[in-house]
Chains A and B, each alone.
Chain A
Amino acid sequence: MNRRTVIGLGAVSLAATMLGLCPVTAFAQQEIDEAAFLALSQRLTGRNELNATISARALAALSAGDEAFLKTAMRLAQAIDQFGLTDMRRFRDFAAAHPDLSPAAMKIISAWYLGYTGTPEGEANHDDARFVSFAGALMYEPTIDVTIVPTYARGKTDYWVTPPASLASD
């Protein structure tokens, strides 16, 4: 994944407009389903290609920690459609208009970026944290041309002595 592509996806309004063409909520459902959650996730992360398997896992993790989540997420999706939120640069405005729904939006975005839901406790084994993804966590995409997803090798021993090629523009 080229980081320019990634950042480009978020920044170029064309992509956002394309996403905006397909409403997240096709029917007046009560609870969000996997397809609608995937569409909602795409909107919230500004990415038009997200993995459906990870999406299903994120939905399962979020709803396991919160009985009302399926309904809240559905209301969030409907509100986003009504608000016409196609460009996440306008999220602050949306959040101000929907303070009851923005925490759910942040939970979904966090699940995709961090690869877990809940709050891991540093020095305890009992918490509500749930796994969503690791190599697929979006937080690694913006830097993947320079650093790694930990555990996965980048190259030869001592490659780290020379700075990355992008240094001058970083």
Chain B
Amino acid sequence: MRGIISAVSTAFSVLLFTSQPAASQDGDIDRLIERGRSVAIAGDCMACHRTAEADGKPYAGGYTISSPMGPIVAPNISPSKEFGIGNWTETQFVDAVRNGVSPGGYLYPAMPYTAYRGMTDQDAHALYVYLTKGTKPVDEAPQAKTDLPFPFNQRILMLGWNVLFNSAIPFQETAAAPGGHERGKYLVDTLAHCGACHTPRNLFMAENNDSYLAGGDVGGWHAPNITSDAVSGIGAWKNEEIVAYLKHGNAAGKSQAAGPMAEAVEHSFRHMPDTDLEAIATYLKTVPPVRAEGQTTPGFARSDAKAADLGQLDYGIDRDPKAMETGTSTNGEQLYVSACATCHQVNGKGTQDHFYPSLTNNRAVGGMTSNNLVMAVVDGVHRKTNDFTVQMPAFGEELSNAQIAAVSNYVLHRFGNEDLHVTEANVITLRNGGEKPLLVKATPWLMAGSVALAAIMLAASAFVWSRRRSRKHAAHEANPGDLQPLKR
């Protein structure tokens, strides 16, 4: 297996070297670096390869990605020779980006190499030049280290996983370059790796392409359906609204970016040219619609708050000092009025300028899951835009889990999808990273059974899965040196 991968990398490097420009004049380098910077932005490398603290040195690593298997620390990818990628050859670099195999060993797919595998040769080259020549070396290693529990700490397992799940085919320059007819798809599938969050994962934590972009769960948050379905997806959004959402994290009256999507806006989308955002919007409108089972109303379309007695929302209290000191109430209405209505207003409509968003006409409140509502209350919202920084304070310390459930239920019932109900246990699960995938839950059992059995299961399901996947990718030209998915 290792032989196959090496062969592939060799094939790539041949390709790269032959496509490299003959003359490397300064102007060319500058242009390459500039292109590489754009690739890094669209690829959102900084989302992970940043420091643990905000505003640290670029690409220094140290940021911890909470994966269902455990915390994964993003490494230093600055051109530091000792601590970063300064000593990597372009072949090694491309091997890491596309195949998930770095000089130090196998990467975890927290690094979205299954998406980056589609990167054009020209972009991969530019990215290498940018990261090695266009950024400053940071000569220090992140303090934290990735330390996953057994068996996930056996990185060699990724070898088998890669054979099964890393099968994309690089885009061609003419189609994927700005203005190219596949630009939008290229950005969505490869650089911006939207599917990493928005496509649900299968049993083995690979993207389930039967539900391409139909919504997935990320560390307690829900990455919504962004297929063209008018009810469950973004089919009813105007292209300008999608662009505004990507650029500012705010499509007024529809949805606001929070959690990981706010980070994508902050580090990536807001820095991209409008033409690219438009290409993304246009492409998303062509993604086959996937309707969530039982959904008849778009999440953003619930526009009427339930009637409420304003005299009851403007209430008096027991002024006994003990009562005034005690903040343990689980009355959702009381909590809403005192903790939320200050900004979102008593009627839930937010402020006229949309700085504080409405809770009606809001996908986080009116959609098919309450995860994003609960997580916004727990973690708050932090989103840097080109104009200003949006911040909703986190209530995870001030309110108990039971209080968060109570206020969430009040909000769902009065402003959104009243069929949803949040329990205290739900809040605890979400704030601890969400429902654990079956693979993680089942691992002790699999281990008890035997690793061999697991391997058999892996192989068997992979056979079925990769047959499906091949249909999706039939449109791509096969690369002779690539790992071939099974074809009909």
Contact = CB atoms under 8 A, between A and B. Distances in A.
B343 A153 contact: yes
A152 interface: yes
Given A131-B316, A157-B388, A159-B353, A152 B311 contact: no
A133 B351 contact: no
B249 to A, nearest CB: 14
Contact of A152 (B312, B316, B345): B345
Interface stretch (A46-54, A64-72, A87-95): A46-54
Residue from A51, A52, A55 having most chain B Cβ neighbours under 10 A: A51
A156 B353 CA distance: 7
A136 B309 CA distance: 11
A153 B311 contact: no
Contacts of B388: 156-157
B268 to A, nearest CB: 24
A151 B342 contact: yes
B311 A155 contact: no
A159 B354 CA distance: 12
Nearest to B311: A53
Given A152-B345, A153-B342, A51 B353 contact: no
B352 A155 contact: yes
A131 B314 CA distance: 10
Residue from B341, B351, B388 having most chain A Cβ neighbours under 10 A: B351
A156 to B, nearest CB: 4
B342 A155 contact: no
A51 B342 contact: no
Contact of A51 (B310, B343, B346, B352): B310
Nearest to A136: B314
A51 to B, nearest CB: 4
Interface string A115-143: 00000000000000001011110000000
Query: What is the predominant secondary structure among interface residues of chain A facing chain B?
Result: loop
Interface residues on A, range: 20 to 34
B343 to A, nearest CB: 5
Given A54-B314, A131-B316, A135-B314, A155 B351 contact: yes
Given A154-B351, A159-B353, A51 B316 contact: no
Interface string B330-373: 00000000000111011000011101100000000000000000
B341 A57 contact: no
A155 to B, nearest CB: 4
B313 interface: yes
B356 A136 contact: no
Interface residues on B, range: 10 to 19
A134 B314 contact: yes
Interface in B127-181: none
A51 B311 CA distance: 6
Interface in B310-324: 310-314, 316
Nearest to B390: A156
Contact of B356 (A53, A56, A153): A153
Contacts of B316: 57, 131
Contact of A57 (B310, B311, B351): B311
A151 B341 CA distance: 9
A169 B341 CA distance: 31
A156 B352 CA distance: 10
A68 B309 CA distance: 30
B346 A135 contact: yes
A144 to B, nearest CB: 11
A155 B316 CA distance: 26
Interface in A35-62: 51-57
Interface in B282-317: 309-314, 316
A102 to B, nearest CB: 27
Contacts of A133: 311, 314
Nearest to A56: B311
A44 to B, nearest CB: 18
A51 B309 contact: yes
B252 to A, nearest CB: 13
Contact of B309 (A53, A151, A154, A157): A53
A80 B186 CA distance: 77
A155 B345 CA distance: 11
A167 to B, nearest CB: 17
Given A153-B351, A157-B388, A135 B356 contact: no
A52 B312 CA distance: 10
A136 B351 contact: no
Given A151-B342, A152-B342, A153-B343, A53 B312 contact: yes
5 contacts: A51-B309, A51-B311, A57-B311, A152-B342, A153-B345
Pick the 6 closest A-B CB pairs, nearest first. A53-B311, A156-B355, A51-B311, A54-B311, A155-B353, A131-B316
